[in-house]
A and B are shown apart, each in its own frame.
Chain A
């Protein structure tokens, strides 16, 4: 197995359009979740983390111009704009070409262009744009990738599975580089669904806190460029060294009672990376702030031997971004590994989960060499992935 490095990245959320803009916001403790009233999204007001549409348009026009595309901005959906901008920002300074046979494009999304099912949007785009493969084709064509895209749609663990699959294919030599992008938009469809589950908090979410009362929804996109051919002159190299998935086999919409299955996904990822729990610098967990998810995660963290390891969730900053979550949270965690900085878990004050996990309450400079990122989702799916320095 050859090492797989991260060559470029991007995050688009309510907090900014680049990784560095988002990291600055995280370091400053800025929260992107705000009470929003938009009848197209939900009949009453609720806290959401929304990407600014004006800046989105400006950024997208600049990207169209950069690639000398004659197409009109209105022929791309909101999500396609997210994805195209995110990829552009991640690759723009890289010395590589991405149009060859050794490059794989991986797309992670739960619902794609789901807003096109709404009556008001139906006439705006061809019907086929609702299919995830058509969404992936639009991006593939825009950048001229030569291989068919690999599309992962596996609920809230989609982003980690996308990164994991690219890592596996690159380390086994099937491809030399991969552009892995995840994105989801906020829509009437998704908000109504989570609201019907009564899983939305009336205030910005508070992962692992005693007073947590549900999740906050967000939207965004994230990209990581992975390569097996890192240039020696690159800045601090970060590599992926292990990853695993598992299924609870317990309930389609509720997490495992024991956390055992997420726990062994974490253990399998550490085993592949040849690391012991004591080597892990921090865990960036899923932390949706629903009572049951966070409870289950604390048990999994305990079972994986990670009770002494600092834990955070980024959902308190930009909410749950679904198919983008695994991507953007991995990118932000990679940056905090580069910066040797543990980032505060927003919304957390006092521990409200059964196992005594160490939630990061304040930003803290610390020497760390690796981290574990995890997620769990509907369908009982769990995933864990490990990133290391060097």
Chain B
């Protein structure tokens, strides 16, 4: 059975793209903080938990919200929705914050609300909490975006009937260097979410490589 990417989002400094449409474009972009907070407000989600997340989780959260906006998630069994993400920097951005809080013995103040984000899969946890997703999880690390690695992992989940649908992609952030490509994968012909007029994107290494190169 072939699978398709029925919705995707791309975020890079100054640019946000959702499926065929440009969502946000600002040549004068400066920092992650300057971008993310107003962008979150614009989405008008009414989800205050967002503010306590670390920057990596914020990025993954926003990217997933943009994908899910075009997906009829409620029609799926939440135990059969997988989330498989990857990046290069793991949780280094928050690791540095935690290390800073313990590096000086006279100012030794480690905080549990920082420490918990020193694992990259916390971002998966945040996305799962938001949408009550209970299915298969994995967080992979690679030096750079590797479509093959994600494809192999997710394709196996579908082939052996471990998921009905899967959110997958790359969410990487250190300070003001960040990028996210998230994709919602469904079996072809069974797709509930795909809008009829939209272009069909087969779930493949080639498609992922093309999407990653768009911006």
Does A379 contact B121, Cβ atoms closer than 8 Å?
yes
Binary CB contact string for chain B from 74 to 104 against chain A (1 if under 8 A, 0 otherwise)? 0000110001000011101001101101110
Q: Contacts of B193 on A, CB cut-off 8 Å?
A: none
> Roughly how many angstroms separate A362 CA and B115 CA in the complex, as a whole number?
37
Does B137 contact A148, Cβ atoms closer than 8 Å?
no
Counting CB contacts under 8 A, is B108 at the interface? yes
Given A110-B119, A111-B118, A379-B125, answer yes or no on A247-B138 (Cβ-Cβ < 8 Å): no
Does A380 contact B128, Cβ atoms closer than 8 Å?
yes
Counting CB contacts under 8 A, is A248 at the interface? yes
Q: Contacts of A153 on B, CB cut-off 8 Å?
A: 90, 119-121, 139-141
Contact of B133 among A174, A195, A247, A378 (CB under 8 A): A247
Does B156 contact A155, Cβ atoms closer than 8 Å?
no
Across the interface, name the chain B residue whose C-beta is closest to A130: B92
Counting CB contacts under 8 A, is A61 at the interface? no
- Tell me the count of chain B residues lying within 8 A, CB to CB, of chain A: 53
Counting CB contacts under 8 A, is A197 at the interface? yes
Does B136 contact A245, Cβ atoms closer than 8 Å?
yes
Counting CB contacts under 8 A, is B28 at the interface? no
> Roughly how many angstroms separate A147 CA and B153 CA in the complex, as a whole number?
15
> Roughly how many angstroms separate A381 CA and B123 CA in the complex, as a whole number?
11
Given A153-B121, A154-B137, answer yes or no on A253-B112 (Cβ-Cβ < 8 Å): yes
Given A110-B119, A151-B142, answer yes or no on A252-B125 (Cβ-Cβ < 8 Å): yes
Does B134 contact A43, Cβ atoms closer than 8 Å?
no
Q: Contacts of B111 on A, CB cut-off 8 Å?
A: 196
Smallest Cβ distance from B159 to chain A, in angstroms? 7
Given A169-B156, A195-B110, answer yes or no on A249-B88 (Cβ-Cβ < 8 Å): no
Q: Contacts of A1 on B, CB cut-off 8 Å?
A: 160
Instruction: Taking A111-B118, A133-B88, A172-B160 as given, write out 18 further A-B residue pairs in contact, using a Cβ cutoff of 8 Å, ordered by the A residue number.
Output: A118-B103, A130-B92, A151-B141, A155-B119, A172-B156, A189-B118, A193-B110, A197-B112, A244-B136, A244-B162, A246-B134, A246-B136, A247-B135, A261-B134, A378-B121, A379-B137, A381-B121, A381-B137
